[in-house]
Amino acid sequence: DWNMEDVMEEEIKTIKALVGPEDHVICALSGGVDSTVAATLVHKAIGNRLHCIFVDNGLLRYKERVRVMETFETDLHLPVTCVDATEQFLRNLKGIVDPETKRKIIGREFILIFDMFAQDLEHKLGKRPNFLVQGTLYPDIIESCPPPGSGRTHSHTIKSHHNVGGLPKDMKLKLIEPLKLLFKDEVRELGKILNVPQGFLKRHPFPGPGLAVRVLGDVTEGNALEILRQVDEIFIQSIKDAGLYDSIWQAFAVFLPIKSVGVQGDKRTHSHVVALRAVTSQDGMTADWYNFEHKFLDDVARKICNSVRGVNRVVQDITSKPPSTIEWE
């Protein structure tokens, strides 16, 4: 049990000692708690020699770009460049159905954009940025590469993700990972001391590949992403309205690439099925499915079918992790 004030002071000291007065630091913000807290901490240590980028990959949630940019600019005063790369990502994901291939493509395109950002900065500053901030947490490290004797020997082969080592290796950037010994709840505590808004800190985790791993199959097929955004927003808003958001680790909707028959108004329909998933967890490594009340689920399902065109069936995921993972892909 660490005192977060001390952790913050220590980290700021370490960052100041590491980053020389002529050095520049870059950071990719995902819009999540981890990268935001990491960047805010580094910003506090070195000011505007930090340069952040936020990429809209077209796989974000409803109104997400506008919402997170507002937090970065208005609440945190972080220096952030926002890049809309929707077209580039979706063009490269066209026809791709394999989950790991999706992740690889998204990672690759991200690196290309990030590389360009670093080059632009080099022109502007007259020198190369030489440090990179990453919001790596302790569980990311143990799930990607379990320490010997931890009893976790095979988990790193399950998914090629978790941001560890996900950025260019040939850029010769030294890593700053100020959160690498912390768990999620500790990062939230640290964020609070750094004046990151409570509402932002309490946001559920969101995977780097975004909605690409929540639209099963080809993400560019039809208007899957748009449907998913609307369904997800209704689900999340209902959870918030019911006062349940903070009791849940993650809640989201999944777009299934199948159609089922329904009856809406006096017509038979042949429309999409969406799944709702909500879990409780300590750190994402194991999870239990969350048991909503009957009335809540009934209201949400009705609302979704009544207001989202192209959806006539809502199902709920009632598996825990293990045997399932939290995400569907």
Residue 222 annotated as binding? Answer: no
Question: 304-323 mask for ligand XMP (x: CB under 6 A)?
Answer: -----------------x--
Cα 25 from Cα 23, distance rounded (Å): 7
Cα 92 from Cα 106, distance rounded (Å): 8
220 interacts with ligand XMP by CB under 6 A: no
Q: What is the DSSP letter of 97?
A: -
Q: Which of 163, 230, 238, 271 binds ligand XMP (CB under 6 A)?
A: 163
Tokens of 3: 């005192």
Residue 320 annotated as binding? Answer: no
- Using the structure block, give the residue that is written with the tokens 């988990």: 155
Closer Cβ to ligand XMP, 161 or 229, answer by number: 161
208 interacts with ligand XMP by CB under 6 A: yes
Question: 89-128 mask for ligand XMP (x: CB under 6 A)?
Answer: --------------x-------------------------
Complete DSSP assignment for 100-127: HHHHHHHHHHHHHHHHHHHHHHHHHHSS
The nearest distance, CB 328 to ligand XMP, in angstroms, is 8
* 27 beta partners: 52, 133
Question: Which residue type, as a one-letter code, is found at position 309?
Answer: R
Length of the chain measured in residues = 329
139 interacts with ligand XMP by CB under 6 A: no
Closer Cβ to ligand XMP, 178 or 284, answer by number: 284
Residues 13-72 that bind ligand XMP (CB under 6 A): none
Tokens of 38: 């990491």
Closer Cβ to ligand XMP, 18 or 248, answer by number: 248
Residue set of the binding site for ATP: 30-36
Q: Which residues bind ligand XMP (CB under 6 A)?
A: 103, 159, 161-163, 205, 207-209, 250, 284, 321, 325-327
